[in-house]
A and B are shown apart, each in its own frame.
Chain A
Amino acid sequence: DAGVIQSPRHEVTEMGQEVTLRCKPISGHDYLFWYRQTMMRGLELLIYFNNNVPIDDSGMPEDRFSAKMPNASFSTLKIQPSEPRDSAVYFCASSSSSDTQYFGPGTRLTVL
Chain B
Amino acid sequence: DQQVKQNSPSLSVQEGRISILNCDYTNSMFDYFLWYKKYPAEGPTFLISISSIKDKNEDGRFTVFLNKSAKHLSLHIVPSQPGDSAVYFCAAPLGQNFVFGPGTRLSVLP
A48: which of B43, B44, B96, B102 is its contact (CB, 8 Å)? B96
The answer to whether A103 touches B41, judged by C-beta atoms less than 8 angstroms apart, is no
Whether A106 touches B46, Cβ cut-off 8 Å, given contacts A48-B97, A56-B97, is no
Cβ A33 vs Cβ B97 within 8 A? yes
Q: Are B42 and A105 in contact (CB under 8 A)?
A: yes
24 A-B pairs with C-beta separation under 8 A = A4-B43, A41-B102, A42-B89, A42-B103, A43-B44, A43-B102, A45-B97, A45-B98, A48-B96, A50-B96, A91-B43, A91-B44, A93-B43, A95-B96, A97-B96, A101-B46, A101-B98, A102-B45, A102-B46, A104-B43, A105-B42, A105-B43, A106-B42, A108-B41
Interface size class of B (residues with CB under 8 A): 10 to 19
Measured in the bound complex, the distance between the Cα atoms of B42 and A60 in whole Å is 23
Contact, CB under 8 Å: A43 / B89 = yes
Q: How many of chain A's residues have a CB under 8 angstroms from any CB in B? A: 23
Chain B: residues with CB nearer than 8 A to chain A? 34, 36, 41-46, 49, 89, 95-103
Majority secondary structure of chain A interface residues (helix, strand, loop or mixed): strand
Contacts of A31 in B (CB 8 A): 96
Which residues on the A side are within 8 Å of B49 (C-beta)? 100
Interface status of A112 (Cβ within 8 A of chain B): no
Candidate in B34, B97, B99 with the most chain A CB atoms within 10 angstroms: B97
A12, CB-defined interface residue at 8 Å:
no
